[in-house]
Amino acid sequence: MARNRNREEEDASIDMTPMLDIVFIMLIFFIVTTSFVKEAGIQVNKPEASNTTKEPSANIFIAIRDTGEVWMDKRQVDVERVGANIERMLAEQPTDVVVIQADKKAEHGVVVEVMDQVKEAGIDKISIAAENN
């Protein structure tokens, strides 16, 4: 009699291994298919424009403050190091667009230097961020 009761208890248990396998496979799928955006890390006062377009595939953002500071990936970098940082980011996640978020009071020369560094890193498509009015 006791032997039959043990057999029923064993049959009533649920094997969780297949469900855990599916959950882990789904987790790996979502991690692999997620695209990560490399934000600049600071807010800038962008100039206003009446004719703007949305750039959906940009993964790398560069911010230029009114003081001339250049920010990438939530840290300040020298203008001369922008190209090397972009090459590093491209190795992690390839993209063909870089968005420059320049403050409306930023010096034109700094923006052009950053654009030159981006071109030297191998990216031909550069977008300048602006506020839509």
pLDDT tens, residue by residue, 61-111: 899 998 989 998 888 999 999 999 989 888 888 888 888 988 888 888 999
25 and 52 share one domain? no
Domain span at 62: 48-132
For residue 123, is it within any domain?
yes
**pTM for the whole structure:** 0.65
**H and E: helices and strands count for the chain:** 4, 7
Give yes or no: residues 28 and 63 share one domain.
no
Residue 61 in domain: yes
Query: 17-73: per-residue pLDDT in tens?
Result: 888 999 999 999 888 877 666 666 767 767 777 666 666 667 788 999 989 899 988
Task: Give the count of domains, the chain.
Answer: 2
What whole-number distance in Å separates Cα of residue 114 and Cα of residue 117? 5
